[in-house]
Amino acid sequence: MPLKQFGRELLVIDVLAPSDTVRSSGARHENAPHLSEVYPPGAPQLRQASHRDVLRIFSVVAAVVTLLLLGGVVVFLAIEGAPALAGTSENLPAGASSIWALAGPLLFGSLWASALAIAVAAPLGIGVALFSVLVMRGALGRWLGTAIDVLAAVPSVVYGLWGLMVVAPQTVRIYNWLATHLGWIPFFAGQPSTTGRTICTAALVLAIMILPIVSSVSREAIRLVPSSSIEGAQALGATRQEMIRRVVLPEARSGIMAGIMLALGRALGETMAVAMVLSATPFLVSFRLLSSQNPGTVAAYIAQNYPEAHGLEVNALVWLGLLLFAVTFVVSFFARLVVRRSSGGSR
């Protein structure tokens, strides 16, 4: 190994070594810069240097492999999906006139179901987080937080079964009531579903699934609000409610937003539970929540149609996958933008 590079390796070690080593070696660099004196050949540092090499090679390989995998997935989706662009009603799934006629309503369905799920899960998750950090600071709060986190460990197929067998039938009565009494609101208009397998049910199940993400990320964000801010607000005569509204939530906002966006990504990609719960109608774009006619979602559509797909239908499903990937990517890109914007000025 050339001496120059050798020296750089040793500097890297200094940075990574425990702080007392860093301090003493810093002094050594000033007073006795000759490396062979400081690190005589065969000294323990040399063995460390080779360890660092292994570590560095390993981490570089890991990074490259990850990027290659990501790139490989995109390339695969693009190549395998591209033929579907030329598809016609002859050979596309469900007799779609073009791939876009198929993809548009499904992307709408994915976004709509996810937005509904966020609308339910975000306030609930933030509320649970506030409760467990600020209101019930003792064992009960911790217990509640843990209980919600456990929801994340339930497999999505279990949520699907629960949604299909419990939520859907139980909500039919509520949907009937909503349609009768609040039918003038466009979302609740029309004949309610008799099975309960509506987009509303799917969104509720999704909401429960993403609740732990929202609540655990929000909890950490709220926990990071400095106690000096909280004390400062209380010393000014703020009630707990005002303190939470004006100090805690603004200061935790970027973290909470990050949690919501993470949850949104999860909801967009969720397949199994939606596929089991939602009774989807092809090519439908509708904002109605309670109807038996519901838009489908991309992920569920792929899962349900892949087993029997052949020919160009397979390419079409792959192309749908690429579109979902792109939408999720755009969402998380905007999420980062939002997080950066809202954290500007603080910290």
Partner 1 sequence: MTIKIENLNAYYGALQAVADVSLTIQECAVTALIGASGCGKSTLLRCINRMHEIIPGALVSGVVRLNETNLYEPQADPVAVRARVGMVFQRPNPFPTMSIAENVLAGFRLRGERLSKTESQETVEHALSAANLWSEVKDRLKSPGTGLSGGQQQRLCIARALASRPDVLLMDEPCSALDPASTGAIEELLGELRLAHTVVIVTHNLSQAMRVADQVAFMATTSAANGGHLVEYGSSTQMFDHPAQSATQDYIAGRFG
Binding site for partner 1 (CB under 8 A): 137-138, 226, 228-229, 231-239, 242-243, 246-247, 250-251, 253, 345-347
C-alpha–C-alpha distance, residues 10 and 60, integer Å: 19
Nearer to partner 1, 72 or 232 (CB): 232
Q: What is the token pair recorded at 266? A: 């999860």
Residue 333 CB, nearest distance to partner 1 (Å)? Answer: 24
Cβ-Cβ contacts under 8 Å for 332 (sequence gap 6 or more): 261, 265
Question: CB of residue 226 vs partner 1: minimum separation in angstroms?
Answer: 7
* Nearest approach, Cβ of residue 260 and partner 1 (Å): 18
The b/e string for 193-203 (b: 16+ C-beta within 10 A; e otherwise) is: beebbbbbbbb
CB of 336 to partner 1, least distance (A): 20
Residue with structure tokens 């039938």?
169
Q: Which two tokens stand for residue 319?
A: 């192309």
Nearer to partner 1, 7 or 250 (CB): 250
Choose among 322, 338, 327: nearest CA to 99: 322
CB of 137 to partner 1, least distance (A): 6
- Pick between residue 247 and residue 317 the one whose CB is nearest to partner 1: 247
Query: Is 53 or 242 the residue whose CB approaches partner 1 more closely?
Result: 242
By beta-carbon proximity to partner 1, the closer residue of 140 and 154 is: 140
Rounded distance, CA 312 to CA 310, Å?
Answer: 6
Q: How far is the CB of 347 from partner 1 (least distance, A)?
A: 6
Are 253 and 246 a contacting pair, CB within 8 Å? Answer: no
Closest approach of partner 1 to the CB of residue 142, in Å: 13
The residue (of 21 and 234) whose beta carbon lies closer to partner 1 is: 234
294 bridge partner residues: 280
Between 68 and 224, name the residue whose CB sits nearer to partner 1.
224
| Distant-in-sequence, close-in-space partners of 303: CB < 8 Å, separation ≥ 6 | 271, 272, 275
Output 191 or 346, the one with its CB closest to partner 1.
Answer: 346
> Are 205 and 300 within 8 A, CB to CB?
no
- Report the candidate in 207, 329, 331 with the shortest Cα–Cα distance to residue 274: 207
The DSSP result for 289-302, as a single string, is SSBS-B---HHHHH
Residue 206: alpha-carbon gap to chain centroid = 12
Q: How far is the CB of 222 from partner 1 (least distance, A)?
A: 14
Partners of residue 280 on adjacent β-strands: 294
Tokens of 285: 């774009």
* Count of residues making up the chain: 347
What's the closest the beta carbon of residue 259 comes to partner 1, in angstroms? 18
| Residue number with CB closer to partner 1 (47 or 245) | 245
3-16 helix and 44-81 helix, angle to the nearest 10 degrees? 90
